[in-house]
Every structure is written in C-alpha cells, then in structure tokens.
A = this chain, B = another copy of it.
Amino acid sequence: MQAADTRPKRATQPRPAALPRRAEPDARRQSLIEAAMRVLARAGANGASVRAIAQEAGVSPGLVGHYFTGIDALIAETYTHVDAMVTRALDAAVAAAPPLPRARLEAFVTASFTAPIAQPALLATWIAFWSLVTSQPQIARQHDEQYAGYRARLEGLLREAGVAEADLRHAAIAVTALVDGLWLELCLSPQCFSSEEAGAIARRFLGTVCGGVA
C-alpha cells in the first residue's frame, strides 16, 4: 500500500500561521495533532507518516518523537482531539435546540450528519484509529471509553425524552449503531443518499424508540 496521488492539492483546511521557531510545548503538540488531522484528510490513513505530518506542521521529523512516544500515540491523540471536537459540536447542537427533550434528541442525531462531523475527510482518522484497536490493548481501552462516553450522553437525552430506564441501554446502543452506520456510509459514498435523508431516517427511528407520537 503506497500513498495515493495527492496531486490536486485540494485545500482541505488552510495551514495556520507557522509557530515561532521555539514554541510553547502545548502549542507545538497541538499543531502536530492538527497537522496529523490535515494529512489524514488529504492522504488517508496509509499516507499519514511521521515525515508527512512533520512536514505539514513545518517542523523536523525528529520532533514528533520528542512529543509523542511514537506514531501510534500521535494517531491516538489525534483521534481523541477529533472526538472532542465532535462532542463539542454535538453539545452545541443540543444546546441550540428548543428546550424540549425530543427536540434536543433530534438535534443530537441531526448534527451527526452535518458539518463538521459528517465529512469524508474525517473518515481517515477513524480508519487509522480502528486499525490500531485490534492489535493494541491500550487503544482498545481508549476506544471503549470514548464510545461509552458517547452512549452515556445519548442515554441522558433518551432518559429526558421519556425512554424507560430498562430500555435505556438497548435504545442507546441502537441509536448509536444507526447513526454510526449512516455516518459511515455517508462518508464512504456520499452520493448514495444525502445528509438530509440520513437525518430523516434517524429522526424517524427516534420516534419509534421514544414510543411517543411525534
């Protein structure tokens, strides 16, 4: 597997201004993680090498080893960063919704299919992370924790919406699976169905889960 052609040089995200030659450690870490995001979006999971990321960040390859124990740790932290960004976007969507339990729930799932969450450029980050889950127990644990957090947030919204406590776990698993499946297919072949259709399908499912009439 070799790096794919990246000729078009499509501007996925503008590169931020270069950091001072000697930067604040936290800022440098962050800039490396954001560079990894851009490389993953542009070149895919197979193209996200130490050298490519360092070049994207405008630093020497050796610096990666100074901030991360290895490329896998950088990928894992990039996943954490993207996951936090997704969580923030979802929380913002919920907060912006009318203060009705059902509306908040619908805002949660609808936001999953709109920018900045559902963009094919983010898929490579998940793929790169998933490919580490099987072989690295620590990565598997991280995945479990972040997914558990996602489901816990969803369980809270479902509880507000009146889902019985006994059904909460299965309902959260079901909604999570449906949203993830729609999200994945939306990223893999965006022309198969639209974000609006995905949102409509998911909201309709919420109607059956909450048992209530719309």
Q: How far is the CA of A170 from the CA of B205 in the complex (A)?
A: 11
Number of copies of this kind of chain in the complex: 2
Taking Cβ atoms with an 8 Å cutoff, the residues of A that contact B are 1, 4-5, 43-47, 71-72, 75, 120, 123-124, 127-128, 130-136, 140, 143-144, 147-148, 170, 173-174, 176-182, 184-185, 188-189, 192-193, 197, 200-201, 204-205, 208
Closest residue on chain B to residue A186 by CB atoms: B177
A192-B147 in contact given A179-B181, A200-B170 (Cβ < 8 Å)? yes
Contacts of A47 in B (CB 8 A): 135
Q: Which residue of B173, B181, B188, B201 is within 8 Å of A130 (Cβ)?
A: B188
Q: Residue A188 contacts which of B5, B72, B133, B197 (CB distance < 8 angstroms)?
A: B133
Contact across chains for B185 and A147 when beta carbons are under 8 A apart: yes
Please name all residues of chain B whose beta carbon is closer than 8 Å to the beta carbon of A148 when the two chains form the complex.
192
The 6 closest A-B CB pairs, nearest first, are A177-B181, A4-B135, A181-B181, A180-B181, A208-B208, A177-B182
- A189 to B174: give the CA distance in the assembly, Å: 15
